[in-house]
Structure 1
């Protein structure tokens, strides 16, 4: 398992706020996420307090 620390950026988005984070390209390559195939599933596990990112099948 590889670990990196990143910061979440917050900014105004329309009438509310939005958040973004930058994922390292090596991580995306290992998952097979490219500019052409960039759809992912984002899963929130509130019990474990974990956000999971998976390539959409």
Structure 2
């Protein structure tokens, strides 16, 4: 398992604020995530305080 420390960007969007995170491109390639096939699932595990990003099947 690889681990990286990333920052979340906060930016102004309309009347509020939005967020963005950049993921390492090699990881996305390994998962088969491309410009054409880019749908993922984001799972929030509140109990374990984890965000899980998974390629949508």
- The TM tier, using the shorter chain, reads over 0.9
Q: Structure 1 unaligned segments of length 5 or more: list them.
A: none
The corresponding residue for 1:49 is 49
Runs ≥4 in structure 1, deviation > 2 angstroms? none
Give the TM-score normalised by structure 1: 0.93
Q: Counterparts of 2:31 and 2:54 in 1: how far apart (Å)?
A: 8
- Write the distance in 2 (CA, Å) between the matches of 1:43 and 1:13: 23
Q: How many residues align?
A: 57
* RMSD over aligned Cα atoms: 0.7
State the secondary structure of the residue aligned to 2:5. coil
Under a length normalisation based on structure 2, what TM-score does the superposition of the two structures give? 0.93
CA distance in 2, matches of 1:30, 1:49: 25
